[in-house]
Chains A and B, each alone.
Chain A
Amino acid sequence: GAVVSQHPSRVICKSGTSVKIECRSLDFQATTMFWYRQFPKKSLMLMATSNEGSKATYEQGVEKDKFLINHASLTLSTLTVTSAHPEDSSFYICSARGPYTETQYFGPGTRLLVL
């Protein structure tokens, strides 16, 4: 149980285009989903917290107009990187928690490369 998937696992795009990353909880309802970004050989930095049906809460320094987060259902959250630039290249990982637990389960991550 407690499986979280992400799609795509890898994406290469041209500078200026937008990329959407999906995060799904496969066998539980995720009331809260988190989006993290991991730089090479670095820890995970929280980008935003999203609760189903409400607007995401962004961490300081994260541009909400650039990183659009939608959590329209209890099993799906999406992160859209708009007008991507090479500095947005990174490993993006989502996590999800259910309604009766504080434990977070992580997706396998999406590696984004912007050329």
Chain B
Amino acid sequence: GEDVEQSLFLSVREGDSSVINCTYTDSSSTYLYWYKQEPGAGLQLLTYIFSNMDMKQDQRLTVLLNKKDKHLSLRIADTQTGDSAIYFCAEKEDQAGTALIFGKGTTLSVSS
């Protein structure tokens, strides 16, 4: 079945860049997402990328997709303490109306 893997923890200093990595197994994935979850809260959609793209940039966020290796990364430039949260990678297959498959989430800790 489909599987999404992420490293569980990442610790960075304020002002540094953070890179969160994700690998997935479903080659039919068409949409790949990054969600942010702050403590006790729901999920906030950060950004997404279609499988026919290699890169997407949105302000401090850069998403890189290596479809051959099924590897997705999220880079946060100039990381702030407010970026501390759990970041979930999720994939969706190319079929209308199907649900997302999530990784276990990467806890990002930003120290000042």
Contact = CB atoms under 8 A, between A and B. Distances in A.
Bound pair (A, B): yes
Nearest to A48: B99
B103 A46 contact: no
Interface string A94-109: 0101000011111111
B57 to A, nearest CB: 18
Given A43-B104, A51-B97, A102-B96, A93 B42 contact: yes
A43 B92 contact: no
Given A43-B104, A46-B99, A106 B44 contact: yes
Interface in B21-56: 30-31, 33, 35, 40-45, 48
A6 B41 CA distance: 11
Contacts of A44: 43, 88, 100, 102
A4 to B, nearest CB: 8
B87 to A, nearest CB: 12
Contact of B99 (A49, A109, A111): A49
Given A102-B92, A103-B48, A108 B97 contact: no
Contacts of B88: 43-44
Interface residues of B, number: 23
A49 B96 CA distance: 12
Contact of B43 (A46, A51, A93, A97): A93
Contacts of B92: 102
A67 interface: no
Interface string A48-69: 0101000000000000000000
A32 interface: yes
11 contacts: A6-B42, A32-B97, A43-B104, A102-B31, A102-B92, A103-B31, A103-B45, A104-B99, A106-B44, A108-B41, A109-B41
Given A44-B43, A46-B99, A46-B101, 4 more contacts: A43-B88, A106-B35, A106-B43, A109-B42
Interface of A: 6, 31-32, 34, 42-44, 46, 49, 51, 93, 95, 97, 102-109, 111
Interface of B: 30-31, 33, 35, 40-45, 48, 88, 92, 96-105
